[in-house]
């Protein structure tokens, strides 16, 4: 897509704090001892094929950007052992939950980037992803902060480079103005087509799309989520 490569420090930060409550001794051990075994080394040369990051039985690679508590990521890892799940999440409370689930459930098809996703998108080989997810990203609701929203023309161009033709990008939000931001950005990136023929296509979460805690919070607060699906052309 001709996306100019620039150092991570030039990326506009699209997330808030990195830490929540103080980690327990066990959680701290998971981060210090177990997370390094799951973390993708972005300082190493990128592989010719992203499947090289996983065991031989993995046939496809999916990416979740900002996996939050990790329930969506872990659900797919359990139900699709033939798929390698890469998760990017800068909030360490969510990272430690996924590491815990991977260890306790003995999952071998999860790899993590506990940071911003954009360095990963620059590092991955072209056309390597079969699916990508951006579920309930930080809404940055104040007008002066909207430039920090994760979904942008730049991010979509980076995703288009690493997603193969026919792959699917799923985006969910409970903020109507954010849905508008997504659709306007998509209009500027012709590599993606919106998979919607009727209102039910974006008002309902489809099969094979498990719920998240953020969705449940939105519904409890009376907000109606929007479920957007796009195909890489």
Identified catalytic residue from 34, 100, 138, 201: 138
CA–CA separation, 142 and 133 (whole Å) = 24
- Given a contact cutoff of 8 angstroms between Cβ atoms, the answer to whether 73 and 67 are in contact is yes
Strands, E, within the chain: which ranges? 60-65, 83-88, 110-113, 129-135, 163-173, 192-194, 226-232
Q: Which residues contact 232 (CB under 8 A, 6 or more apart)?
A: 160, 163, 164, 165, 166, 167, 168, 169, 191, 192
How many helices (H) and strands (E) are present in the chain, helices listed first?
9, 7
DSSP letter (8 states) at residue 173: E
Concerning whether 138 is annotated as a catalytic residue, the answer is: yes
Q: Which residue has the tokens 């390698």?
A: 84
Residues acting as catalytic residues = 138
């Amino acid at each position: 897509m001709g996306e100019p490569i620039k150092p991570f420090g030039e990326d506009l930060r699209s997330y808030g704090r990195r830490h929540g409550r103080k980690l327990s001794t066990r959680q701290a051990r998971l981060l210090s001892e177990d997370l390094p075994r799951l973390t993708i080394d972005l300082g190493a040369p990128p592989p010719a094929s992203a499947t090289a990051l996983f065991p031989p039985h993995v046939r496809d690679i999916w990416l979740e950007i900002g996996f939050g508590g990790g329930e969506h990521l872990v659900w797919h890892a359990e139900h699709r052992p033939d798929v390698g799940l890469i998760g990017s999440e800068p909030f360490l409370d969510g990272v430690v939950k996924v590491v815990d689930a991977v260890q306790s459930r003995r999952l071998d098809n999860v790899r993590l980037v506990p940071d911003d996703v954009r360095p990963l998108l620059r590092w991955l080989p072209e056309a390597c992803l079969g699916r990508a997810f951006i579920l309930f990203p930080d809404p940055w609701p104040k007008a002066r902060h909207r430039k920090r929203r994760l979904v942008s023309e730049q991010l979509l161009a980076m995703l288009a480079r690493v997603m193969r033709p026919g792959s699917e990008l799923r985006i969910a939000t409970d903020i109507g103005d954010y849905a508008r931001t997504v659709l306007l950005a998509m209009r500027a990136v012709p590599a993606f087509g919106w998979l919607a023929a009727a209102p039910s296509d974006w008002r309902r979460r489809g099969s094979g799309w498990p719920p998240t805690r953020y969705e449940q919070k939105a519904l409890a607060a009376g907000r109606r989520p929007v479920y957007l699906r796009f195909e890489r052309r």
